[in-house]
Structure 1
Amino acid sequence: MAVVRVALEQIDVAVGAVDANRETALTRTRAAFGAGANLVVLPELAISGYVVDPEFARQVAEPLDGPTAAAFSAQAREFGGLAAYGFAELADGEVFNTVVVVDGDGPVLHYRKLHLFDQEQAAYAPGDLGLPVADTAFGRIGVCICYDLRFVEVLRAMSLRGAEVVLAPAAWVGGFDRTVPVTGGTRHVDSVLAQANLDQVAVVAVSQVAGAARGGPATLGGSVACDAYGEVLAGPLSRTAADSALVDIDLDAVRAARIRGERIRPREDRRTDVYALTYGGDAW
């Protein structure tokens, strides 16, 4: 499929309200599929809420093959699409901050957050599944979560392994940047746009919003999607309320963005005789 229609579903999530959050997420996902989306992206910890208390995180966690996966897979099967959502995953006695991408048969991408932000470090185990990239009916997709975007190696590693679209569910909060604008895009968005251009990969970053009113931190919203030139396709979405957008990502254009001119080929122009990026034993 040359053009993929992606839904950004920025939702207002209540901490610990698993059933209600799941119902909200499924309702929004069904509506997005009904509007023609091939791929629906929800925020980080969309099901559990942004839980950072260790005991509470364990209470609201569920296994990969739990009720949330079953419900989203059923919707994906009904509409022939993909859905990406974040949840607290319980596995082998550990709790992980996880995003899974499912189709009608179940998970096609399973990712555990590598870079845990601030209080997350007390509640979740560090991710141990690397940076997965998978071929799907809607392009070659990679996944990361929120704080991962602040480490330039993350998008670079996925792009050099052929990712065309990177999904970045998030619960954007302050604390990394000196200041946070009250309206419009945050510095998180600046980072996304710059890296998408430099790595020639489309990015869809969907944040929670308004969490302070629902028992969590002041999540910032401002979700965004951009093409492989870092040009905004949708967003920034609302900074204060639930919001959504549909955007078309042209995969042929993503691939073409790897060549910027006859003598401007950023991947070929890398000086691998001087430096390299290594991942899983391979080097670029």
Structure 2
Amino acid sequence: MTAITVVCHQLAPRISDLDYNRALSESAIRGASGAQVIVLPELMQSGYAFDNRGEAHAASETDDGPTLSLWRALASELDIIIVAGFCERLSAGRVANSLALIQPAGRLTVYRKAHLWNREKLIFTPGTEPPPVVETKIGRVAAMICYDLELPEWVRLAALAGADLLCAPVNWPDGPRPADERPGEIVRVQANAGVNRMFIAACDRYGEERDINWVGGSTIVDANGYPLAGAVSHQREQRLVAQLPLAEARDKFISEHNHVHQDRRPGLY
């Protein structure tokens, strides 16, 4: 398994401006031509800060709508895996905060965010399925969304299922922190990667949307939890690129006698 090129493209989608967001995503995906994987932000297709479920529903799409149809065509044309967020239209006026993992051959995997953050609980229907781990031509790729990363048990599920790379579209709202400290979301991504010996690519957004400011903290970390790209807060568009030797994620030994998964003792927890 040779090193692969992964891109996280940090962007600023506009709330409910589907045409703009579609064009923005296409430009980013085409700009990653030659990479094997690109990750875009959470709710890239729609924007994030909806006032209510009705507004979200008006901006939602099904998995065969125009945005995912475009992304599937681009995945095939550019021979790239795309992981990006969208507002998914469900039945009976419901919506989900979802992501699409699209392989070049056209295979589509949809995951619905299971752990909803703050006012998301008033708008979205939570997912009920574990994070997918998809066998691809470049390795085993898992995916989840934003606040899912804050639940270490959820990340561990993907790791125990054999994920080499975890891709996470995120929208990290900025908040107060001590001077000179990095955002905690970045630190927790690094910790999750290190304790599972798994690569993680988390793609954030930037800017302000309806009085919410974003961390702008996109990051790609290695299987030891150390940053390969990003991992700082930048309030601007960024295209992060890293080379990932995914085979390293299959070696779970951290010393001659310690294996990060086999050392677990669930019966004691």
- Measured against the shorter chain, the TM-score band is over 0.9
Report the equivalent of 2:185: 188
Quick one: distance in 2 between partners of 1:127 and 1:32?
Answer: 30
How far apart, CA to CA, are the structure 1 residues paired with 2:21 and 2:260? Answer: 42
Report the equivalent of 1:141: 141
Match of 1:281 in 2: none
Secondary structure at the residue paired with 2:121?
A: helix
**Partner-residue secondary structure (3-state), 1:119:** helix
Contact 2:182 2:233 in 1 (8 A): no
Deviation at 1:55, TM superposition (A): 1.2
Counting only pairs closer than 5 Å after superposition, residues 57-96 of structure 1 correspond to structure 2 as 57-93=56-92, 94-96=94-96
Counterpart among 227, 230, 233 of residue 235 in structure 1 = 230
Give 2:156's aligned amino acid. R
Measured in 2, the distance between the counterparts of 1:263 and 1:117 equals 39
Q: How many residue pairs align between the two structures?
A: 267
Query: Per-residue deviation at 1:273?
Result: 3.8
Matched residue, 1:245: 240
Find the residue that maps to 1:45 and give its secondary structure. coil
TM-score norm. by structure 2 comes to: 0.94
How far does residue 268 in structure 1 lie from its aligned partner after superposition? Answer: 1.6
Partner of 1:116: 116
Letter in 2 for 1:39: V
- Per the normalisation by structure 1, the TM-score is 0.89
Structure 1 gaps, min length 5: 276-284
SS in 1 for 2:158: helix
Distance in 2 separating the partners of 1:182 and 1:170: 24
By how many angstroms is 1:190 displaced? 0.5
Contact 1:170-1:207 at 8 Å conserved across structures? yes
What is the letter of the counterpart of residue 38 of structure 2?
V
What amino acid sits opposite 2:58 in the alignment?
Answer: Q
Coordinate RMSD, CA, aligned: 1.7
- CA separation of 1:180 and 1:23: change in aligned 2, threshold 3 A: farther
Aligned counterparts of 1:186 and 1:8: Cα–Cα separation in 2: 18
Match of 1:270 among 259, 264, 268: 264
SS class of match (1:260): strand
Is the CA contact (8 Å cut-off) linking 1:108 and 1:134 kept in structure 2? Answer: no
Deviation of residue 184 (structure 1)? Answer: 7.4
Q: Give runs of aligned pairs for residues 165-176 of structure 1, distance below 5 A.
A: 165-174=165-174
Q: After alignment, is 15-24 or 232-241 more displaced? A: 232-241
In structure 2, runs of 5+ residues without a counterpart are none
Deviating more after overlay: 166-175 vs 57-66:
166-175
Inter-partner Cα distance in structure 2 for 1:135 and 1:154 = 19
Q: What does 1:251-266 align with in structure 2 at a 5 Å threshold?
A: 251-256=246-251, 258-266=252-260
Q: 1:241 Cα shift? A: 0.9
Query: Using the alignment, how far apart are the partners of 1:78 and 1:145 within structure 2?
Result: 26
TM superposition shift of 1:272? 3.6
Q: Deviations over 1:65-116 (max 9, x none)?
A: 1111111111111121111110100022320000111123434421100011
